[in-house]
Structure 1
Amino acid sequence: MRKLIMWNVITLDGYFEGEKSWDLSFHELIWGNDLEELSLTQLRSADMLVFGATTYKGMADYWTNAEGGDEGEVAKFMNGLPKLACSSTLKTAEWKNTTIVKDAIAEIPKLKQQGNGDMFVFGSGNLSDSLMKAELFDEIRLCIAPVFLGKGKLLFNQGIPYKKLKLLESRPFATGGIIVRYAPDDK
């Protein structure tokens, strides 16, 4: 059975995006060898990437043009892995290996039963919010950037049901970022 894993980079005050769409400049604070290796390890364990419509469009634009650049190995995974674009409005998906799903809450539990690798939700704040409210995540992985952004788009919104979590891992990076991994604690 696949595990559904949230992966996001957030600021210490909880923002995953700045005031403007795709303002991810704080990612530069934590990027380095540690995070690059973690990214590759995660992609090697993945058998599906999951995105909301906005993140899907942005990632498709970026990664389809990145294969010849510095991100060569990461780009090969991003472009080669099967992708799920969760959207009720998206009509076509140009990024190779993409399937469009209109109702993520209904379809993702079925997809979790069909494989053994990990399904990663990258970014996708609105989708992540819906999946958290439906209690579909098996794990939450965050890289906390050592900065207070003060404004922008929060990753965790009001209305998420109470859920006790157990710590699976916490690991500091040389850049000052910290990786935390949590799973639901259903005990």
Structure 2
Amino acid sequence: MRKLIMWNVVTLDGYFEGEKNWDLSFHGLVWGKELEEFSVAQLKSADMLVFGATTYKGMAEYWTKAEGEEEEISKFMNEIQKVVCSSTLKTADWNNTILLKDAVVDIPKLKQQGNGDMFVFGSGNLSESLMKAELFDEFRLCIAPVFLGNGKLLFNQGIPHKKIRLLETHPLATGGVILRYAPEGESRQ
């Protein structure tokens, strides 16, 4: 069975994006060799990436044109199976992408069909829906050492109270910290 994992970089005060779409400037505070190696290892453990419509469009735009130092990651991002969850998109043209209209109904079916990890990157609205449906098997966050003060919160009001347990902490030389959590009662690591 596949494991559904959230991956996000968030500020200490809980923002995963600044005031404007794709305002991710705080990512530079934690990016370095350690986070790059961690990110590549995560990608290699994945057999599927899951996006909401906005993140999907941005990622497709970026990774279909990326070159140079990002060539290894770009190749992987373009070849891996991808899912875009949207009730409004009509097509999904990025290589190896399927379109799901109802993530809460369809993601559990996809989890049953494989053994690799499924990662949700960004995708705040989708993540909120998946959290409310209790579909995540793990939460991975990299905490950026900054108070942003405004922007888009990753965890909004209305997320159900659920105890989680710490699986791992990994401090970075940049001052960031990678945290891995699982819902209480989940046994897979």
Q: Which residue of 1 aligns with 2:78?
A: 79
Q: Tell me the alpha carbon deviations over residues 121-152 of structure 1, each in whole angstroms, 9 at most, x when there is no partner.
A: 00000000000000000000000000000000
Return the TM-score normalized by structure 2: 0.97
Gaps of 5+ in 1: none
Correspondences of 1:117-136 after superposition (within 5 Å):
117-136=116-135
| Partner Cα separation in structure 1 for residue 142 and residue 126 of structure 2 | 19
Q: Which residue of 1 aligns with 2:140?
A: 141
Q: Which residue of 1 aligns with 2:167?
A: 168
Say yes or no: does 1:64 pair with 2:100. no
| Partner Cα separation in structure 2 for residue 129 and residue 121 of structure 1 | 11
Q: Kindly state the Cα deviation for residue 8 of structure 1 after the two structures are TM-superposed.
A: 0.3
Q: Tell me the alpha carbon deviations over residues 99-127 of structure 1, each in whole angstroms, 9 at most, x when there is no partner.
A: 00000000000000000000000000000
RMSD: 0.8
Provide the secondary structure at the position in 2 that maps to 1:71: helix
Q: What amino acid sits opposite 2:141 in the alignment?
A: L
Say yes or no: does 1:3 pair with 2:3. yes
Q: Which residue of 2 aligns with 1:41?
A: 41
Q: Which residue of 1 aligns with 2:13?
A: 13
| Partner Cα separation in structure 2 for residue 79 and residue 177 of structure 1 | 28
Q: Kindly state the Cα deviation for residue 74 of structure 1 after the two structures are TM-superposed.
A: 1.2
Return the TM-score normalized by structure 1: 0.98
Q: What amino acid sits opposite 2:135 in the alignment?
A: L
Q: Kindly state the Cα deviation for residue 92 of structure 1 after the two structures are TM-superposed.
A: 1.1
Question: What is the number of residues matched between the two proteins?
Answer: 186
Q: Kindly state the Cα deviation for residue 77 of structure 1 after the two structures are TM-superposed.
A: 1.3
Q: Which residue of 2 aligns with 1:95?
A: 94
| Partner Cα separation in structure 1 for residue 151 and residue 68 of structure 2 | 29
| Partner Cα separation in structure 2 for residue 166 and residue 17 of structure 1 | 25
Q: Which residue of 2 aligns with 1:106?
A: 105
Question: 1:105 touches 1:134 (CA, 8 Å); kept in 2?
Answer: yes
| Partner Cα separation in structure 1 for residue 19 and residue 81 of structure 2 | 31
Q: What amino acid sits opposite 1:60 in the alignment?
A: A
Q: Kindly state the Cα deviation for residue 69 of structure 1 after the two structures are TM-superposed.
A: 2.1
Gaps of 5+ in 2: none
Q: Tell me the alpha carbon deviations over residues 33-80 of structure 1, each in whole angstroms, 9 at most, x when there is no partner.
A: 0010011100000000000000000000000001x2221111111111
Question: 1:39 touches 1:74 (CA, 8 Å); kept in 2?
Answer: no
Q: What amino acid sits opposite 2:143 in the alignment?
A: I
Aligned residues: percent identity? 76
Q: Which residue of 2 aligns with 1:179?
A: 178
| Partner Cα separation in structure 1 for residue 94 and residue 28 of structure 2 | 25
| Partner Cα separation in structure 2 for residue 27 and residue 40 of structure 1 | 16
| Partner Cα separation in structure 2 for residue 73 and residue 180 of structure 1 | 25
| Partner Cα separation in structure 1 for residue 19 and residue 98 of structure 2 | 30
| Partner Cα separation in structure 2 for residue 34 and residue 72 of structure 1 | 18
Question: 1:52 touches 1:85 (CA, 8 Å); kept in 2?
Answer: yes
Q: What amino acid sits opposite 1:124 in the alignment?
A: S
